[in-house]
Amino acid sequence: MAQTKKKIVFSGMRPTGALHLGNYVGALRNWVKLQETHHCFFGIVPWHALSSEYLNPKVIKDFTFEVALDWLAAGLDPQKAVLLIQSEVKEHAELHLLLSMITPLPWLERVPTFKEQQQEIQDKDLNTYGFLGYPMLQTADIILYKAEVVPVGEDQAFHIELAREVARRFNRFYGEVFPEPQILLTEVPKLAGTDGRKMSKSYGNAIYLKDSPEAIRKKISPMVTDTRRKRRTDPGEPDDCPVFTLHKAFVPEAKRQELAAGCRTASIGCLECKKVVIEALITEFETFRQKRTYYEQHPDEVWTIFNEGSARAREVARKTMEEVRQVLGLDFPTGRR
């Protein structure tokens, strides 16, 4: 079979601590597949975390480690993908700076997440230069590796569109250096958390990848189901059931159809139905838990993997920045390294 050149992928995750099922189905699960077919760079991005957590920066390192554990345990493989820590590759900052020179302020001010997050997150002052520049830092992350494909959810679509526009603008001003990155839209099933709201770390309703079988059982068993099912004999509607959002992500199609039919005809009870998804989750994350425990006990191995990944990333990043400095005429004779 003719070998076509693998496309370059970049995607990133903010270090916000251990990952939950929503993070898994919305990103990680797809990345694990993508590393087989694409030339992938996956970055944990401390500087993005800092844009909102600047008053509490000390947690970022531990949170980075938690994400690193989850990545490795879930099957991201340093033999297949470049696993890096953004802030360990200083070229991200240099490119961000240079892009900031050519990015019109209104492009950033009209990013929907900018105003939304400022309003939503009341306990932090997000009216900062860094937070406004968040999408620019993201653009730098992506184009620094000349990524062609960026797997993200719908919530990031605007950021990627901006990245395309900035890459295009750079190319128009200085010459073709960057490919225009394309979004690879990840279908993000909306998962409900234990309280029925959207699963989110900040709501305290999340089921974590690292949760033990007992914790999974304890969290799902008491969950609210479709309110029509007051009694065991009342039929329900799976599409209105928070628990069934988990079925949609983790229970195979055939079994799921069977349960849905059973729900609609009241021929199964909610406990029985929940048991299926509980067992599915326990099984799906069995090897995950083993691997995570291993890495928890071998932190040096984890840091080494990310150290080596960051070094590989740096090599690519350096080449790009040499080119960038050259087209800008900033390739000083004094700067030979």
User: Would you tell me which residues interact with ligand SF4 (CB under 6 A)?
Assistant: 225-226, 229, 236, 238, 241, 243-244, 259, 263, 268, 270, 273-274
- At residue 43's C-alpha, the angle toward residues 183 and 99, to 5°, is 65
- At residue 101's C-alpha, the angle toward residues 95 and 107, to 5°, is 100
Report, in Å, the least distance between residue 27 CB and ligand TRP. Answer: 8
Distance CA 183, CA 159 (A): 10
Largest CA distance in the chain: 81
Report, in Å, the least distance between residue 236 CB and ligand SF4. Answer: 4
In the complex, the residues that contact ligand TRP under the rule CB under 6 A are: 10-14, 45, 48, 138, 141-142, 150, 152, 156
**Pick from ligand TRP, ligand SF4, none: which does 141 bind, CB < 5 to 8 A by kind?**
ligand TRP
Report, in Å, the least distance between residue 231 CB and ligand SF4. Answer: 12
Residue 11, beta-bridge partner list: 42
Place of tokens 């990013």: 111
**Pick from ligand TRP, ligand SF4, none: which does 244 bind, CB < 5 to 8 A by kind?**
ligand SF4
Q: At what angle do helices 299-328 and 91-102 cross, to 10 degrees?
A: 40
**Pick from ligand SF4, ligand TRP, none: which does 111 bind, CB < 5 to 8 A by kind?**
none
Q: 112 to each of 151, 191, 260, 269, 288, how far by Cα in Å?
A: 20, 23, 37, 43, 36
Q: Closer CB to ligand SF4, residue 271 or residue 311?
A: 271
**Pick from ligand SF4, ligand TRP, none: which does 209 bind, CB < 5 to 8 A by kind?**
none
For ligand TRP, the nearest residue by Cβ is 12
